């Protein structure tokens, strides 16, 4: 590396960095900027604050480790502050006194992240924390940190030695025990486990083999701290053999199949799902977020021992197979969730996988209209079938025995028809993709085939996207049920690739043709007729509802439900469906643009990080990326979200009142050529943006945000 990861210029001892998380992070980011390692203070502080808003980074020992990867960071850097006034980072044992800002370049290599993870692992050691607390100079801090960073990684122990994941020193058992006492009531692990069984297990002298997986969203710090907290706690016990797999950002070695097969129980301490989860199928499992493994490792180990001895303990679902690729993280349904939540997540997974088909297909349809003209849609099949680059069509084309006249001719008409044909092919998959990936989210890979089959049948029977939702859920539940059958070992290898897809497809197909197809088709027809009949106040009311939904959670389940409603009807090509699509897309563009405008108009009402974010949010809004408003909403939801919903409702109402229609499902202002009337679309967006911007400014002005006021006060003092 060109320079040490921490220097004395990056250390602040007994510093007063204010009383809020945002000000502490901003001050630490300032230290990094002042050393020339970050090009912009807010460019570093904002990602770290956003990460903090998702989940506090406080850990046992009154320590906090805000961290992020940022384009503003030029090299991996640690900034440290020993605070004169502790600040609440949501730690398990009170406000944080010691704070490390871990800053990694956005494109940093894995070697950089391995260095950062070493620090995270050292934070579970009492001796290291004591050194940080007792140091009298910045040099002592730098020396202690560099000793940790430069320490050689111990060799991996064999199972008999109880651990693969190690770090120097011993863990602090007191912090884990105290956190366990304070958080046991909020435990998210399996209720069937019995701590008494763990005590009996320990006294019997029998060793329980446990494997664990740890993972956090960024994969920098909590991933490795959880691994070491579990490992070092297990090292002190004679009744456990523990192996840990870290699924973080640095170089991680997966658990061997033989070690997994020999395990008596599994611990999943993750916030982002488990990669290749099917490797653990059938094993008793304890699941929680990654922070619980840091805060109460001993309790989790006791629960794993109890689960290993409980024949009724919850087990990892699915069927183990080494012949197929690993499932996506979206397929890792949490078996500990309630059925309502699991079904909601499955539907959202289906929508997320469907969107690329919709976006690609819809934009290609729009480009087809751009090149070939709007009337080309009436004869695109005949044009693509009967003509070629060497035989271009004229204005008159024979369409099913009838001569039809088209506005354009030659290459433009032919090329437009080809684009339209490709778009239609992509759009024809949307119901099948929705159904297939809903089933995938519930049952993993064995659910994909029956889900796609069910979706295709739904299209054949005119059951539309409602049929796709039903077949996806049915296929996933049936495949999941079949996957739980106890079968002979020789048949087990055939289950995920032959038996489950075959039987689940048969069940779904028979159910659709014999029972569900006709009723679902009738519901879909009624919905389409209702949409086609909308006019006047009823259309405006629908626009208001869709606008509110699009701005409620900015890319979350409610937003996605409105988007699914719009895109599912777009393939029909009727005017009502295109008007709904236009209202949804216009309303979804409002929040980022409005918030960007508000930061320019009243800069003082927003944090420096929000001001920086506002510089690019307008472009995200113009592109129909509602998520551009999430940083604002996450930091100040009670002011931002209602303000955005007000503007979204106005936009949806105006769009529907003016009968604005869109042939494109995505693209925002950049597909204006596919929207008619374009002036009505722009007017609706402008009105919504104005309402949201004025509202959010007014709310922030008359109902001030205390965190922003504190940040402003700190800046004034510094000045």
Q: What contacts 76, CB < 8 A, 6 or more positions away?
A: 1, 5, 103, 104, 105, 108, 112, 113, 115, 116
- Asked whether 635 and 607 are in contact (CB, 8 A), the reply is yes
pLDDT, position 318: 57
**Nearest 5°: phi and psi at 650?**
-65, -45
pLDDT, position 346: 78
> 674-695 pLDDT, tens per residue?
788 999 999 999 999 999 999 9
Same domain? 447 vs 543: no
Reported as a pLDDT band with limits 50, 70 and 90, residue 169 is very low
In this structure, how many other beta carbons lie within 10 angstroms of the beta carbon of residue 106?
11
Q: Which residue has the higher pLDDT, 243 or 612?
A: 243
- Range 219-239 average pLDDT: 79
Reported as a pLDDT band with limits 50, 70 and 90, residue 174 is very low
**Nearest in space to 333 (alpha carbons), one of 322, 344, 321, 320:** 344
pLDDT > 90 in the chain, percent: 23
Reported as a pLDDT band with limits 50, 70 and 90, residue 706 is low
pLDDT, position 542: 87
Q: For residue 216, indicate whether it is catalytic.
A: yes
- Domain-embedded: residue 263: yes
- Range 697-713 average pLDDT: 69
Q: What does pLDDT average to over the chain?
A: 78
Q: For residue 68, indicate whether it is catalytic.
A: no
pLDDT, position 320: 56
Does 555 score more than 70 pLDDT? no
Same domain? 345 vs 374: yes
> 377-404 pLDDT, tens per residue?
778 888 998 999 999 988 888 888 888 8
- Range 172-201 average pLDDT: 40
**Nearest in space to 211 (alpha carbons), one of 315, 282, 285, 156:** 285
- Range 612-638 average pLDDT: 77
Same domain? 569 vs 689: yes
pLDDT, position 166: 36
| Distance separating alpha carbons of residues 281 and 714, to the nearest angstrom | 53
Reported as a pLDDT band with limits 50, 70 and 90, residue 107 is low
Reported as a pLDDT band with limits 50, 70 and 90, residue 19 is confident
- Domain-embedded: residue 137: yes
Same domain? 597 vs 520: no
Count up the domains in the chain and report the number: 4
Same domain? 515 vs 545: no
Q: What contacts 555, CB < 8 A, 6 or more positions away?
A: 626, 627, 630
- Domain-embedded: residue 548: yes
- Edge-to-edge strand ranges of the sheet holding 285-288: 240-246, 208-215, 265-270, 285-288
**Nearest 5°: phi and psi at 266?**
-130, 140
Q: Find tokens 């693969």 and name the residue.
A: 164
- Domain-embedded: residue 311: yes
Same domain? 622 vs 704: yes
Does 186 score more than 80 pLDDT? no
Reported as a pLDDT band with limits 50, 70 and 90, residue 549 is confident
The DSSP secondary-structure symbol of 238 reads: S
pLDDT, position 334: 46
Q: Which residue has the higher pLDDT, 328 or 583?
A: 583
| Distance separating alpha carbons of residues 563 and 555, to the nearest angstrom | 9
- Range 459-477 average pLDDT: 87
For the chain, the maximum distance between any two Cα atoms, rounded to a whole number of angstroms, is: 92
pLDDT, position 496: 82
Does 649 score more than 90 pLDDT? yes
- Range 409-438 average pLDDT: 88
- Domain-embedded: residue 180: no
Of 54-63, 441-450, 544-553, where does mean pLDDT reach its minimum?
Answer: 54-63
Residue 53: exposed, middle, or buried by beta-carbon count in 10 A (0-12, 13-18, 19+)?
middle
Of 105-109, 404-408, 626-630, 681-685, where does mean pLDDT reach its minimum?
Answer: 105-109
Does 228 score more than 90 pLDDT? no
Element (H, E) at 69: strand 67-70
Same domain? 596 vs 705: yes
- Range 153-176 average pLDDT: 38
Q: Which residue has the higher pLDDT, 699 or 179?
A: 699
pLDDT > 70 in the chain, percent: 78
Same domain? 509 vs 550: no
- Domain-embedded: residue 329: no
Same domain? 482 vs 606: no
From the candidates 33, 68, 112, 216, give the one annotated as an active-site residue.
216
Residue 638: exposed, middle, or buried by beta-carbon count in 10 A (0-12, 13-18, 19+)?
exposed
Reported as a pLDDT band with limits 50, 70 and 90, residue 660 is very high
Torsion sign across C-alpha atoms 102, 106, 110, 111: negative
Same domain? 283 vs 404: no
pLDDT, position 675: 87
Q: Is residue 677 reached through a cis peptide bond, with omega within 30 degrees of 0 on the bond before it?
A: yes
Same domain? 37 vs 141: yes
- Range 220-236 average pLDDT: 79
**Which among 499, 524, 549 is the end of a domain?**
524
pLDDT, position 167: 33
Does 11 score more than 90 pLDDT? yes
> What's the start-to-end Cα distance of the chain, in Å?
35
> 191-206 pLDDT, tens per residue?
344 444 444 554 455 7
> 309-342 pLDDT, tens per residue?
888 888 876 555 443 333 333 333 344 456 676 7
Same domain? 385 vs 239: no
* CATH number of the domain encompassing residue 25: 3.40.930.10
- Domain-embedded: residue 57: yes
Q: Which residue has the higher pLDDT, 607 or 546?
A: 546
Distinct helix (H) and strand (E) counts, the chain:
28, 14
Reported as a pLDDT band with limits 50, 70 and 90, residue 457 is very high
pLDDT, position 329: 36
Residue 244, domain extent: 208-316
Instruction: Using alpha carbons, list the distances in angstroms from residue 128 to 10, 123, 175.
Output: 18, 7, 14
Reported as a pLDDT band with limits 50, 70 and 90, residue 616 is confident
Reported as a pLDDT band with limits 50, 70 and 90, residue 456 is very high
pLDDT, position 498: 87
Element (H, E) at 97: strand 96-105
Q: Which residue has the higher pLDDT, 126 or 32?
A: 32
- Domain-embedded: residue 173: no
Does 89 score more than 50 pLDDT? yes
Residues 492-499: contacts with CB under 8 Å, at least 24 apart: 492/319, 492/320, 493/321, 493/323, 495/319, 495/446, 496/319, 496/321, 496/324, 496/444, 496/445, 496/446, 497/321, 497/323, 497/324, 497/446
pLDDT, position 2: 60
**Which among 524, 554, 583 is the end of a domain?**
524
**Which among 316, 350, 380 is the end of a domain?**
316
pLDDT, position 607: 76
Reported as a pLDDT band with limits 50, 70 and 90, residue 533 is low
pLDDT, position 717: 45
């Amino acid at each position: 590396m060109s320079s040490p990861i921490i220097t004395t210029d990056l250390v602040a001892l007994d510093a007063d960095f204010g009383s809020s998380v945002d000000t502490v992070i901003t001050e630490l980011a300032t230290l990094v900027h002042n050393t020339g390692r970050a090009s912009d203070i807010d460019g570093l502080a904002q990602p770290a604050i956003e990460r903090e808003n998702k989940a506090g980074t406080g850990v046992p020992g009154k320590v906090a480790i805000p961290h992020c990867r940022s384009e503003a960071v030029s090299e991996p850097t640690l900034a440290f502050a020993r605070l004169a006034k502790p600040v609440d980072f949501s730690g398990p044992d009170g406000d944080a006194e010691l704070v490390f800002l871990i800053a990694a370049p956005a494109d940093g290599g894995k070697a950089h992240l391995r260095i950062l993870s070493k620090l995270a692992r050292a934070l579970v050691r009492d001796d290291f924390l004591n050194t940080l607390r007792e140091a009298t100079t910045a040099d002592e801090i730098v020396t202690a940190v560099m000793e940790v960073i430069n320490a050689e990684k111990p060799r991996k122990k064999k199972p008999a030695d109880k651990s693969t994941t190690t770090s120097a020193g011993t863990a602090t058992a007191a912090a884990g025990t105290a956190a366990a006492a304070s958080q046991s009531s909020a435990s998210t692990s399996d209720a069937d486990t019995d701590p008494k069984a763990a005590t009996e297990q320990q006294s019997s002298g029998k060793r329980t083999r446990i494997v664990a997986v740890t993972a956090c969203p960024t994969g920098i710090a909590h991933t490795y701290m959880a691994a070491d907290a579990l490992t070092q706690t297990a090292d002190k016990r004679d009744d456990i053999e523990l192996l840990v797999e870290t699924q973080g950002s640095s170089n991680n070695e997966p658990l061997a199949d033989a070690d997994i097969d020999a395990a008596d129980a599994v611990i999943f301490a993750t916030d982002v799902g488990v990669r290749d989860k099917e490797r653990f199928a059938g094993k008793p499992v304890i699941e929680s977020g990654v922070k619980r493994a840091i805060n109460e490792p001993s309790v989790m180990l006791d629960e794993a021992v109890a689960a290993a001895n409980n024949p009724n303990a919850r087990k990892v679902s699915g069927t183990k197979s080494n012949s197929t690729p690993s499932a996506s993280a979206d397929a890792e349904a949490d078996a500990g969730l309630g059925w309502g939540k699991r079904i909601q997540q499955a539907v959202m997974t289906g929508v997320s996988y469907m969107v690329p088909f919709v976006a690609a297909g819809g934009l290609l349809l729009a480009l087809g209209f751009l090149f070939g003209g709007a009337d080309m849609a009436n004869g695109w099949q005949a044009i693509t079938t009967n003509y070629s680059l060497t035989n271009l069509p004229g204005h008159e084309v024979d369409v099913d025995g009838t001569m039809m006249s088209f506005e354009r001719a030659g290459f433009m008409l032919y090329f437009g028809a080809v684009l339209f044909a490709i778009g239609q092919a992509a759009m024809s998959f949307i119901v099948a993709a929705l159904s297939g990936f809903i089933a995938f989210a519930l049952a993993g890979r064995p659910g994909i085939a029956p889900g796609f089959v069910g979706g295709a049948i739904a299209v054949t029977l005119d059951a539309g996207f409602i049929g796709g939702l039903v077949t996806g859920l049915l296929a996933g539940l049936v495949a999941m049920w079949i996957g739980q059958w106890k079968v002979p070992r020789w048949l087990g290898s055939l289950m995920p690739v032959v038996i489950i897809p075959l039987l689940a497809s048969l069940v779904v197909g028979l159910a659709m043709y014999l029972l569900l197809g006709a009723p679902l088709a009738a519901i879909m027809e009624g919905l389409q007729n209702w949409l086609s009949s909308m006019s006047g106040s009823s259309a405006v009311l629908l626009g208001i509802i869709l606008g509110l939904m699009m701005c409620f959670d900015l890319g979350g389940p409610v937003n996605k439900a409105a988007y699914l409603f719009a895109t599912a009807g777009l393939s029909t090509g009727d005017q009502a469906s295109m008007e709904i699509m236009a209202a949804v897309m216009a309303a979804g563009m409002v929040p980022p643009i409005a918030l960007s405008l508000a930061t320019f108009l009243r800069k003082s009402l927003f944090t420096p990080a929000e001001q920086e974010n506002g510089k690019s949010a307008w472009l995200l809004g113009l592109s129909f990326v509602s998520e551009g408003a999430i940083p604002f909403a996450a930091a100040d939801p009670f002011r931002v979200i209602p303000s955005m919903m007000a503007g979204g409702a106005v936009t949806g109402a105006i769009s529907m009142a003016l009968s604005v229609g869109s042939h494109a499902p995505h693209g925002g202002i950049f597909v204006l050529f596919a929207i008619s009337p374009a002036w009505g679309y722009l007017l609706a967006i402008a009105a919504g943006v104005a309402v949201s911007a004025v509202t959010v400014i007014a709310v922030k002005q008359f109902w001030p945000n205390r965190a922003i006021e504190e940040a402003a006060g700190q800046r004034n003092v510094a000045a």
